């Protein structure tokens, strides 16, 4: 099965669809960029087949990290879903996650103390407290706003990760 030549008009309609779906401007831009890259990979093609998309996936794997490839495939799959061509969608690459962080990505106790001390020396108490809170709880930087006096009084131990 082939899909007709994809053009800017179809991409524009896809963008409008993403806006209606309330996707963020960054997501819309990323999806558009990823679909354009697919189109550029097959210049002058009349249509797409599943084999072509699988070949493209392999090319991406040779150039990019697995997580990047998966984010591109998500965009392309969404586009094919929008075009009502589910048959062209491809599976994401399986990622084996490590149970533990790499030691080189963790702060040592010496580095932690140096950061806290530097913030204190610069009279940046809030920064010092933020560093201490993040390191002692393991929260994400974006979750710091959920540490409030009220949550501490209630004894809340889990931030609401997806609250807007």
Q: What is the pLDDT of residues 101-128, one digit of tens each?
A: 666 778 889 999 999 999 999 999 999 9
| Whole-number pLDDT of residue 101 | 62
Q: What is the pLDDT of residues 56-81, one digit of tens each?
A: 999 999 999 999 999 999 999 999 99
Q: Is residue 94 part of a domain?
A: no
At 134, which helix (H) or strand (E)?
helix 125-137
- Same-domain status, 62 and 16: yes
Query: Which of 36, 58, 88 marks a domain boundary?
Result: 88
Q: Is residue 46 part of a domain?
A: yes
pLDDT exceeds cutoff 70 at 41: yes
Proportion of the chain in helix, strand, coil states, percent, rounded to 5 = 65, 0, 35
84 conformational bin, left if phi > 0, alpha if psi -120 to 50, beta if neither: left
Q: How many domains does the chain have?
A: 2
Asked whether the beta carbons of 2 and 46 are under 8 A apart, the reply is yes
- Same-domain status, 66 and 128: no
| Whole-number pLDDT of residue 73 | 98
- Same-domain status, 57 and 119: no
Domain that holds residue 131: 106-154
Reported pTM: 0.59
What average pLDDT does the chain have? 85
């Amino acid at each position: 099965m082939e899909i007709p030549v994809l053009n800017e008009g179809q991409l524009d309609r896809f963008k409008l669809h993403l806006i209606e779906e309330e996707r963020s401007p960054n997501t819309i831009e990323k999806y558009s960029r990823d679909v354009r890259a697919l189109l550029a990979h097959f210049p002058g093609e009349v249509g797409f087949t599943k084999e072509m998309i699988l070949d493209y996936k392999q090319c991406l794997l040779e150039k990019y990290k697995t997580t990047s490839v998966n984010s591109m495939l998500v965009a392309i799959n969404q586009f094919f879903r929008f075009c009502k061509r589910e048959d062209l969608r491809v599976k994401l690459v399986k990622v084996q996650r490590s149970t533990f962080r790499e030691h080189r990505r963790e702060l040592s106790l010496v580095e932690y103390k140096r950061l806290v001390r530097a913030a204190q020396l610069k009279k940046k108490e809030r920064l010092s407290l933020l560093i201490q809170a993040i390191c002692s709880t393991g929260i994400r930087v974006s979750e710091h706003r959920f540490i409030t006096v009220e949550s501490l009084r209630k004894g809340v131990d889990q931030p609401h990760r997806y609250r807007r």
